[in-house]
Amino acid sequence: MKDLLAKFTAVGRQHAELLAQVGSDPLGVRMDRVIGPTEAEIEGRRCVLLGSNNYLGLTFEPTALEGAHVALDAAGTGTTGSRVANGSYSMHQDLERQLAAFFRRRHALLFSTGYQANVGMLSAIAGRDDTVLIDSDCHASIYDGCKLSDATVQRFRHNDPENLDRRLARLQAPGNALVVIEGIYSMLGDRAPVREIAEVTRRHGAYLMVDEAHSLGVTGPGARGVAAEAGVADKVDFIVGTFSKSVGTIGGFCAADHDALEAIRLSARAYLFTASLPPAVVASARCTLERMRTDPGLRDRLWANAEIVYDGLARMGFELGPEKTPVIAVRMPDTQTGLATWRDLLDAGVYVNLALPPATPNGNCLLRCSVCAAHSADQLDHVLAAFARVADAPDWRGTAAE
């Protein structure tokens, strides 16, 4: 009998090599104790969390904690059912209405994760005669949703409206065209040129979906994301996103003005065949969404902190992502240097994400940093001091030593 799992031998070998080089697993870091939104205990030391996607620091929001406790006591630990079975509580419907109002749309659909929101929507709405055009840097969940659809899929060059324009002009498929982009891209932290892409999309009669996962709560009027920031939210057909970043919990959604969104409840398998969000999660999301909507000071502190970190790293000579946002990518010259630098930072009490190819653009090894509104000045000083020690080390092989 052939080994069904033989295909994973190479993956296991590569993972073992990572462990041998670093001495611990950079892809399986254990938080022994979470101290707050910006700090945790890892391997017996207190570490500043600079890789959590907790942009607004709302994971310990007092109103959300209280709301979650009340919902837990009132409705239990879970629904144990799909939204089309026993898993639709009044609070799920209240959250959908809140999301629709937040994005100024007529409808909103709640999913159990952000991943499922993209997979569920794309696999449901893109049919056999349709074409989906996605930015080449889109998240894996968008790629997976396209794979599960019956549509033809094309990639256009990252953040390149002219390339998209040419691809749309050449389309001869009899069905519809759907363009999919992200608001802020999760690896390099650059914004999509939403205004230009919306103009191209409309000119060709195509539909537009924007994943605001990393821009919800981060930018735009009312914290509604990049499309709202660009003033073209009304040109976006489908807004998808997640609660696992700025909202500080878990879940996903799609908001739209299309009345047919309600019929997708009966068509999207990622909605139909999974249990709905637990009551405590729904309650906490309702509280943090409201805090996000009503407290612009959170975004002000986030962007001030992002500027401190980005400018500080740039002064040291690190090669950074193309744009100053709360997602800051530090390019490493090679994977070996990236591993060693990640380990040095962790030893210095700073946790960042190690991002390795093929999950990264252009095959780069990245140290991916995500800044939080709740980071204190002392914590940011500690972060920059740790990076400075790396850059000053005699064996540093990155651009900062040049």
| pLDDT reported for residue 401 | 39
Asked, as a colleague might, if the bond just before 37 is cis with ω within 30 of 0, I would say: no
Taking the CA atoms of 184, 185, 190 and 194 in sequence, report the sign of the dihedral they define.
negative
Phi, psi (degrees; rounded to nearest 5) at 29: -65, 135
Comparing C-alpha atoms, which of 139, 134, 247 is closest to residue 184? 139
Q: Is the pLDDT of residue 154 over 50?
A: yes
For residue 3, give the 3-state DSSP assignment.
coil
Mean pLDDT calculated for residue range 108-116: 98
- The pTM for the full model equals 0.95
Report whether 271 contacts 252 (CB < 8 A): no
Write out pLDDT tens, residues 84-99.
999 999 999 999 999 9
| pLDDT reported for residue 76 | 98
Q: Fold for 18-49+296-401, please state it.
A: Aspartate Aminotransferase, domain 1 (3.90.1150)
Domain boundaries, the chain: 18-49+296-401, 61-294
Write out pLDDT tens, residues 335-384.
999 999 999 999 999 999 999 988 898 889 999 999 999 999 999 999 99
Q: Which CATH class is domain 61-294?
A: alpha beta
Comparing C-alpha atoms, which of 193, 204, 208 is closest to residue 167? 204
Report whether 280 contacts 89 (CB < 8 A): no
| pLDDT reported for residue 178 | 98
Q: What is the band of 395 on the pLDDT scale with cuts at 50, 70, 90?
A: low
Share of the chain above pLDDT 90, in %: 88
Q: What is the mean pLDDT of the chain?
A: 95
Residues 162 and 289: their CA atoms lie apart, in Å, by 36
CB-based contacts of 151-157 (< 8 A; 24+ apart in sequence): 151/126, 151/127, 151/175, 151/178
Burial class of residue 156 (count of CB atoms within 10 Å of its CB; 0-12, 13-18, 19+): buried
